[in-house]
Amino acid sequence: MNASGFPSDIETWHSKEGENHRGYARKVLSDYLQTLLAHLGGNCTCTKCSKISIRDKRPHTNETNRTQAYADVGDDEDLPSLRFVHQDDTDRILAVIRDCVTFPKFLYHQHDLFRVDLSHNNLTGEFPNWLLDNNTNLDKLVLVNNSLTGPLHLPTHSHQNLTILDISNNFFHGNIPIQVGAYLPMLWTLNISKNDFDGRIPSSFGDMNSLWSLDLSYNNLSGEIPEHLAKSCINLRYLVLSNNRLEGQIFSAANFNLTNLWRLQLDGNQFIGKIPECLSNSSSYLTVLHLGDNHLSGRIPSWLGNMSELVDLKMPNNHLEGPIPPEFCQLQNLEVLDLSVNSISGDLPSRFSPPQIQLVHLSKNKLKGQLKDAFFNSSSLVTLDLGYNHFNGGIPNWIGRLSNLTYLILSHNNLEGEVPHLLCNLERLRLIDLSHNNFSGKIPHCLDMTALHGDFSNATEPMRNEEYVEFELKNASSSKRVAAMRNEETIEFTTKNISYSYQGRVLTYMSGVDLSCNKLTGEIPHQIGNLTRIHTLNLSYNNLNGSIPSTFSNLEQIESLDLSHNNLNGKIPPQIIELHYITFFSVAYNNLSGKTPDRKDQFGTFEESSYQGNPLLCGLPLPKFCDANCSPALAPKASTDIEEDSNFMDMDIFCISFTASYIVVVLAIAIILLSKLSLKESQGIDADDRRKVESLVEGNGLHRWQLSDFQILKGENVNRMNEVGSDFCINPKVVKEGPNSKVGFGFVGPDYKAKSESQLGLEP
C-alpha cells in the first residue's frame, strides 16, 4: 500500500486457478476498487462514486487461463468508466480510465505498470514522459484523442520495453526528437498522426529494427524520406506518411530494403519523379498503395500488374500519362482503383474486369473508346466513376448485371443512344450522373425501381470512427477493409448549380439524378415523382415536352430541382410548394403558362431567374401580374426598374400617345401649309391652289406611317430589322435559349432602331 491506500504495484493483483478462481478475483478487486474510485474522485472531473458493481466476464467453460472483471460505476455519464482485465497467462492488469481532464494522481505513484490506455478523454498538459521513467516495464502507452500539447518529451534513459506508442489525434507540436530511435529502440508500433509536428523525419527511425508500423500522417513534416529508414527498417509492414509536406524522390533503388511492406501511403505530399521501380520488390506482400495528390509523372509501370496481393491502389491528382497497362487485368484481388485527375489516355484494357473490384475512379483523364467488355464481370462494383473523359458509344448491356452498383458517374463524355432501361435492375442505385453527353430518346419510366424511391439511410453500414487497431488490414475481412476504404472515398456531383465533393458518411446519404445537357425527348415520366428520397434532380438543357408531373410534390427530400431550358408546357403544379427542403428551383426558358407557385415557405425565396423565359407565365416574382384568368398582364413598372425597362412601352399607352402625336403632327402640317398658302395669297397665289391643299389636309390624304404587329424573330431574320423605317421599328431583345440559339422578341416603340447581331454583340 502507498500513502493513498492504493497498492503501489497493480501487478500484485493476482488471481488463483482452481475452484476459487472467480471468487478470489472478485474479492481482490472489490477490496481495492472503492479505494481507487474514492482516490480518483479527487483527481478527475468526476466526483461521484455512488454505484459500484463487479461482474465476472470469464466464459463459463473449463478454461481458466483468463479472467476478466469489470468495475461499473453506474450509468451516470459524469462518472468515470473503469475497466480492469486480469490475465493469468501474463499476470498483468490493463486499466482503462475515461472522462478525466488531468492525469490521475495515483499514476504518479506507480512503478510497474505494464499497459496504460488513457484514450478518448479530454486530457490536457504535455506528454507524460514520467510514465516511461517510472515504469520501466511499460509495454504499451496509448493517449489517442485527447487535448495534449507541447513537444514529444523522450524518457530520461533509453526505454527497452515500450513496444506500442500511440499519441495520435492530439495537439503535440515541434520537431520529432532526432534521438527518438535511440531512446525508444524497441518500438513495434509508433503512431503520432494528426498532430502538428514539423521539421524533418529523424534518420534515427532507422535504428528501430523491430518497427512494424510507422504512422506520421497529417502533420507538417518536410524534407525527404530518410535513406536510413528505407534501408534499415526491414521488418516494416505499415508506412503511412500521408498529408505532410514531404518532397523529393520517393525512394532510391540503392537504399530500399522495405520488401515486406503491406501498406504504403505517401499521398498528399509534394513528391516528384516517376513511380519508383524498387517498389516492385514488395510485390509479394503489398496490399495498399496510395501515391495520390503529389507531382508524380511518367507512365503507369506495368509491374504494378504483378502485385498479386494488391487490394487498394490510389494514385489520383498527379501527372501520370499513357495507357492503363494491360497487366492490370491480372489484379484479381483489386478492390479499389483510383487513377482520377491525371492525363491517362487510350482505351481501357480489353476485358479489364477485376472480379473483386468495388470502387473505380477514372474521372478527369483522356480515356477514349467504347466501354465494351470492361467491368463486364465485376458484379461487386459499388462505384463506377468515368466522368470527364472521351468515351463514346452507348452504355453496354453488362451494366444491368452490376447488382451492387450504387454510384454511376458517366458525365462529360461523348456517350450516345438511349438511357438503358437496364439501369432499373440496379436496386441499390442511388446516384446517377449522365450529364453532358449525347443521350437521346425518352427517360426510363422505371427509375423508381432503384434505391432512389425508398429509405436507404441504413443501406450502408455506418462508418465507424477511426480507432486504434493493431494491424487489422492484413487479416481483416473484405467487408471491413472496404468499409474503411469507402470512408475515404470522394465523389464529385453537381447540385444547386455548384459542384460538391461528398465523402465518408455524408456520401452514404447523398442521392440524385443528373441527365442534363443531353438530347432527351418526350414527357417526364410521372414515376419520377416516386423517387421520394432523392436530393437532387437535374433534367435541364434537353428537349423534354409535356407538363411537369403533379407527382413531383412527392419528392419530399428534394433540395435541388432544375427543369430549365426544355419545351415544357402547361401550368406549374401548385402542390409543388409542399417541397419543404428545396433550396434551388428553376423552370426557366420553357413554354409554361399560368400562375407561378404561391410564395410560401421555400418558394418565397426564389427570384425571377427561376421562372424567366416563359412568356405566358405570370405572378411574383415575375414583373407580370395575372388577370382573372391567370393570364399575364404587365404590372406598372417600379421606379427602380425604369432604367432597365426604358426600351419597352405598354401597348395602351402607345396607342394613346400615338393617336395624340398623329393629331398634333397633322394639325402642325395643316397650319404650316395654311400659313404658306396665306403667304402665297398675300403674294398673289391662285385661290384654287389653296383649296387643293386644304382639301388634301381635310381629306387626310397625307402619307401616313404603317405599323404592323410585333413579331418573334429568330436567327437570320434579325438582320432584316435594319430595313425597318427609322421612325417606328422593332427593338429586339435577344435571349440566349441554349447553346448556339438566339431568339429576338420584338416590341413596338417610338424612334427605336433595330440592331444587327454584330451590333448586339452576339457571336455569329
pLDDT recorded at residue 4: 41
pLDDT recorded at residue 669: 82
What's the average model confidence in pLDDT over 355-379? 93
pLDDT recorded at residue 644: 41
Last residue in a domain, options 101, 133, 161? 101
Question: Dihedral sign, CA of 331, 334, 339, 340?
Answer: positive
Phi, psi at residue 70, to the nearest 5°? -110, 145
* pLDDT > 50? residue 296: yes
What's the average model confidence in pLDDT over 190-205? 97
Q: Is residue 763 one of the residues assigned to a domain?
A: yes
Binning pLDDT at 50, 70 and 90, where does residue 615 land? very high
What's the average model confidence in pLDDT over 195-218? 96
Q: Is residue 267 one of the residues assigned to a domain?
A: no
Binning pLDDT at 50, 70 and 90, where does residue 486 land? low
Phi, psi at residue 626, to the nearest 5°? -100, 140
Q: Is residue 471 one of the residues assigned to a domain?
A: yes
pLDDT recorded at residue 723: 40
What's the average model confidence in pLDDT over 339-359? 93
Grid-cell match 504495484, residue found: 9
Q: Is 259 exposed, middle or buried (0-12, 13-18, 19+ CB in 10 A)?
A: middle
pLDDT recorded at residue 12: 33
- CB neighbour burial string for 77-110, b if at least 16 within 10 angstroms, e if fewer: eebbbbbbbbebeeebbbbbbbbbeebbebbeeb
> pLDDT per residue over 684-717, tens digit each?
545 555 555 555 545 544 443 343 333 344 444 4
CATH assignment at residue 534: 3.80.10.10
With CA atoms as reference, report the closest residue to 432 among 310, 539, 293. 539
pLDDT recorded at residue 61: 39
* DSSP code of residue 204: G
* pLDDT > 70? residue 524: yes
Binning pLDDT at 50, 70 and 90, where does residue 58 land? very low
* pLDDT > 70? residue 117: yes
Let me know whether 637 and 655 are in one domain.
no
State how far the Cα of 26 lies from the Cα of 56, in Å rounded to an integer. Answer: 7
* pLDDT > 50? residue 416: yes
Q: Is the bond leading into 202 cis (omega within 30 degrees of zero)?
A: no
Binning pLDDT at 50, 70 and 90, where does residue 111 land? confident
The three-state secondary structure class of 591 is strand
Binning pLDDT at 50, 70 and 90, where does residue 661 land? confident
What's the average model confidence in pLDDT over 423-433? 91
Q: Is residue 337 one of the residues assigned to a domain?
A: no
Q: Is residue 273 one of the residues assigned to a domain?
A: no
> pLDDT per residue over 60-72, tens digit each?
334 334 333 333 3
CB 553 within 8 A of CB 530: no
Binning pLDDT at 50, 70 and 90, where does residue 340 land? very high
Let me know whether 462 and 578 are in one domain.
yes
Question: Dihedral sign, CA of 30, 34, 37, 43?
Answer: negative
Q: Rank 208-217, 506-515, 677-686 by mean pLDDT and report only the highest.
A: 208-217
State how far the Cα of 436 lies from the Cα of 542, in Å rounded to an integer. Answer: 10
Let me know whether 133 and 97 are in one domain.
no
Pairing, β 490-495 against β 390-393:
unpaired
Amino acid at 41: G
The three-state secondary structure class of 618 is strand
**Mean pLDDT estimate for the chain:** 76
* pLDDT > 70? residue 180: yes
What's the average model confidence in pLDDT over 6-20? 37
505: which 3 cell numbers? 458518411
State which residues form the domain around 219.
113-248
Lowest mean pLDDT among 176-185, 442-451, 453-462, 602-611: 453-462
Pairing, β 560-562 against β 343-346:
unpaired
Return the higher-pLDDT residue of 204 and 16: 204
- The count of structural domains within the chain is 5
Angle at the Cα of 464 (from 461 to 465), degrees rounded to 5? Answer: 160
What's the average model confidence in pLDDT over 206-214? 95
612: which 3 cell numbers? 424567366
The three-state secondary structure class of 446 is coil
Return the higher-pLDDT residue of 676 and 386: 386
% residues pLDDT > 70 (the chain): 66
State how far the Cα of 553 lies from the Cα of 562, in Å rounded to an integer. Answer: 14
Let me know whether 149 and 50 are in one domain.
no
* pLDDT > 50? residue 724: no
Binning pLDDT at 50, 70 and 90, where does residue 99 land? low
Binning pLDDT at 50, 70 and 90, where does residue 44 land? very low
pLDDT recorded at residue 651: 52
Amino acid at 497: N
Amino acid at 338: D
Pairing, β 407-409 against β 383-385:
parallel
647: which 3 cell numbers? 426600351
Contacts for 472-478: CB closer than 8 Å, 24+ residues apart: 473/238, 473/262, 473/263, 473/287, 473/288, 474/237, 474/262, 474/287, 478/335, 478/356
Sorted by sequence, the CB contacts under 8 Å of residue 537 that are 6+ apart come out as 512, 513, 514, 528, 531, 555, 558, 560, 561, 562
CB 155 within 8 A of CB 182: no
Binning pLDDT at 50, 70 and 90, where does residue 533 land? confident
> pLDDT per residue over 572-583, tens digit each?
999 999 999 999
Q: Is residue 748 one of the residues assigned to a domain?
A: yes
Angle at the Cα of 60 (from 54 to 66), degrees rounded to 5? Answer: 70
Last residue in a domain, options 39, 73, 101? 101
Q: Is 63 exposed, middle or buried (0-12, 13-18, 19+ CB in 10 A)?
A: exposed
pLDDT recorded at residue 686: 53
pLDDT recorded at residue 42: 40
Q: Is residue 761 one of the residues assigned to a domain?
A: yes
Let me know whether 75 and 130 are in one domain.
no
State how far the Cα of 181 lies from the Cα of 158, in Å rounded to an integer. Answer: 9
CB 431 within 8 A of CB 510: yes
Let me know whether 84 and 203 are in one domain.
no
Binning pLDDT at 50, 70 and 90, where does residue 609 land? very high
Let me know whether 584 and 657 are in one domain.
no
Number of H helices, E strands in the chain: 10, 47
pLDDT recorded at residue 728: 34
Amino acid at 734: V
Lowest mean pLDDT among 88-97, 149-158, 359-368: 88-97
Question: Dihedral sign, CA of 363, 367, 369, 372?
Answer: negative
CB 295 within 8 A of CB 271: yes
Let me know whether 150 and 128 are in one domain.
yes
* pLDDT > 80? residue 626: yes
**What is the separation of C-alpha 661 from the centre of its chain, rounded to a whole number of angstroms?**
63
pLDDT recorded at residue 309: 94
* DSSP code of residue 269: S
State how far the Cα of 281 lies from the Cα of 279, in Å rounded to an integer. Answer: 5
State how far the Cα of 382 lies from the Cα of 748, in Å rounded to an integer. Answer: 59
Distances (CA, A) of 658 to 236, 321, 672, 723, 749: 92, 70, 21, 22, 10
Return the higher-pLDDT residue of 747 and 326: 326
State how far the Cα of 131 lies from the Cα of 123, in Å rounded to an integer. Answer: 15
Let me know whether 763 and 624 are in one domain.
no
Return the higher-pLDDT residue of 373 and 442: 442
State how far the Cα of 85 lies from the Cα of 92, in Å rounded to an integer. Answer: 8
State how far the Cα of 69 lies from the Cα of 51, in Å rounded to an integer. Answer: 16
CB 7 within 8 A of CB 13: yes
**What is the separation of C-alpha 197 from the centre of its chain, rounded to a whole number of angstroms?**
28
CB 401 within 8 A of CB 379: yes
pLDDT recorded at residue 492: 82
Last residue in a domain, options 704, 720, 736? 704
Return the higher-pLDDT residue of 491 and 712: 491
Distances (CA, A) of 553 to 527, 536, 578, 579, 606: 12, 14, 6, 6, 17
DSSP letters along 307-365, please?
A: -TT--EEE--SSEEEEPPPGGGGG-TT--EEE--SSEEEEPPPTT---TT--EEE--SS
Q: What HEC string does 505-563 produce?
A: HHHHCCCEEECCCCEEEEECCHHHHHCCCCCEEECCCCEEECCCCHHHHHCCCCCEEEC
Let me know whether 604 and 670 are in one domain.
no
DSSP letters along 125-184, please?
A: SS--HHHHHH-TT--EEE--SS--EE--PPPSS--SS--EEE--SSEEEEEPPTTHHHHS
pLDDT recorded at residue 283: 76
Q: Is residue 444 one of the residues assigned to a domain?
A: no
pLDDT recorded at residue 652: 54
Let me know whether 514 and 657 are in one domain.
no
* pLDDT > 50? residue 618: yes
Quote the strand ranges of 145-292, DSSP E: 149-150, 164-166, 171-175, 189-191, 196-200, 213-215, 220-223, 238-240, 245-248, 263-265, 270-273, 288-290
Let me know whether 710 and 695 are in one domain.
no
State how far the Cα of 299 lies from the Cα of 315, in Å rounded to an integer. Answer: 12
